[in-house]
């Protein structure tokens, strides 16, 4: 249930939509299987088992974009086209021309596409109209923008802007590594990445390592800047802060050590409890992290 990644956006003031209204809008564009010559299909799917297209708790909303893509490697088409081109040359007595080869590739694609393997992926988003958050569980901004674009097309508009802080994560993380500590409720964990500047910039990564060591400060003195830093928040969450503002590999330390406390609980009740816990924790995390980065840009 927990989001592993955070791509954070701000909703414009005044945006509001009830779960029922949002569900009705999403229901008009559900995920449909790829058909015919279509290689890609996008649409809305339930964000969890045994819920509709919108899961809600208090004012929090949870939705999910499903993407189905047929995998038909170009190498397979090219190889089959080569074999058929040889047979065609033998049949007609001369090499096939460009148009014949193009027609051949299109015919092969049409034949193979219905039998191509279809792969599905799901990207979830949490919407908090009160605190004006849209948080997408995506490893990259591009994947988050895919969901936002589809939501914008579904609703007609979606007034969101990417979260920006007064201090860039890169500058702040570099400063934290220089002093060997993180501010407020945060502490340095055991992972970081430093990159030099220029076209052939060197990169240094530390994994499972004390981040207060002298050699890290020497890399920074030599001109390298921090692009990723592992952090602990209140000893409750671990995360990796990255430039530009992205939060990756979010883990609840309490849930990892929790054992089987959830055994025997009704799945619907467990989902609601997890959703409430996640939104509460991530809301507080974002507030503290924005503060550590100098506040939010106006």
pLDDT (tens digit per residue) in 45-71: 999 988 999 999 989 999 999 999 888
Give CA angle at 15 (13, 17), nearest 5°.
155
18 has pLDDT over 90 = yes
Range of the domain at 98: 74-114
Work out the pLDDT band at 79, boundaries 50, 70, 90.
confident
Tokens standing for residue 136: 């997408």
252 lies in the same domain as 179: yes
- Cα distance between residue 165 and residue 293, in whole Å: 6
Is 229:192 a contact under the CB 8 Å cutoff?
Answer: yes
103 lies in the same domain as 182: no
Residue 1 within a domain: no
- Cα distance between residue 276 and residue 52, in whole Å: 17
Residue 36 within a domain: yes
Residue 3: φ, ψ to 5°: -70, 135
Q: What is the pLDDT of residues 258-287, one digit of tens each?
A: 655 555 678 788 888 999 999 999 999 999
127 lies in the same domain as 221: no
11 lies in the same domain as 133: yes
Residue 23 within a domain: yes
Q: What is the pLDDT of residue 261?
A: 56
Tokens standing for residue 46: 């339930």
Residue 2 within a domain: no
22 has pLDDT over 60 = yes
**What is each CA distance from 296 to 81, 124, 184, in whole angstroms?**
56, 24, 16
- Cα distance between residue 114 and residue 39, in whole Å: 10
Please tell me the total count of domains within the chain: 3
173 lies in the same domain as 232: yes
62 lies in the same domain as 178: no
Q: What is the pLDDT of residues 188-242, one digit of tens each?
A: 999 999 999 877 789 999 999 999 999 999 999 999 999 999 999 999 999 999 9
158 lies in the same domain as 14: yes
């Amino acid at each position: 249930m927990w989001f592993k990644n955070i791509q954070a956006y701000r909703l414009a003031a005044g945006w509001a939509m009830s779960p029922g209204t949002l569900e009705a809008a999403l229901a008009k564009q559900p995920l449909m299987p790829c058909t015919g010559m279509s290689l890609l299909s996008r649409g809305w799917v339930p964000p969890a088992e045994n819920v509709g297209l919108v899961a809600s708790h208090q004012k929090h909303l949870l939705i999910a974009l499903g993407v189905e893509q047929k995998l038909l490697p170009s190498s397979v088409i090219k190889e089959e086209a080569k074999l058929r081109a040889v047979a065609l040359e033998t049949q007609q007595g001369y090499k096939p021309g460009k148009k014949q080869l193009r027609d051949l590739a299109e015919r092969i694609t049409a034949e193979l596409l219905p039998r191509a393997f279809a792969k599905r992926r799901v990207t979830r988003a949490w919407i908090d109209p009160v605190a004006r958050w849209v948080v997408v569980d995506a490893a990259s901004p591009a994947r988050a923008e895919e969901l936002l674009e589809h939501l914008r097309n579904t609703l007609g508009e979606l007034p969101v802007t990417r979260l920006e802080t007064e201090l860039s994560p890169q500058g702040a993380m570099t400063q934290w590594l220089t002093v060997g500590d993180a501010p407020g409720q945060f502490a340095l964990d055991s992972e970081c990445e430093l990159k030099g500047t220029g076209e052939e910039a060197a990169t240094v990564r530390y994994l499972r390592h004390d981040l207060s060591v002298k050699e890290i400060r020497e890399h920074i003195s030599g001109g390298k800047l921090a692009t990723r830093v592992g952090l602990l928040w209140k000893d409750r969450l671990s995360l990796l802060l990255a430039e530009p503002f992205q939060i990756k590999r979010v883990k609840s330390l309490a849930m990892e050590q929790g054992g089987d406390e959830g055994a025997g609980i009704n799945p619907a009740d467990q989902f609601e409890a997890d959703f409430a816990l996640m939104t509460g924790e991530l809301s507080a995390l974002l507030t503290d992290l924005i503060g550590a980065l100098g506040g939010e840009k106006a």
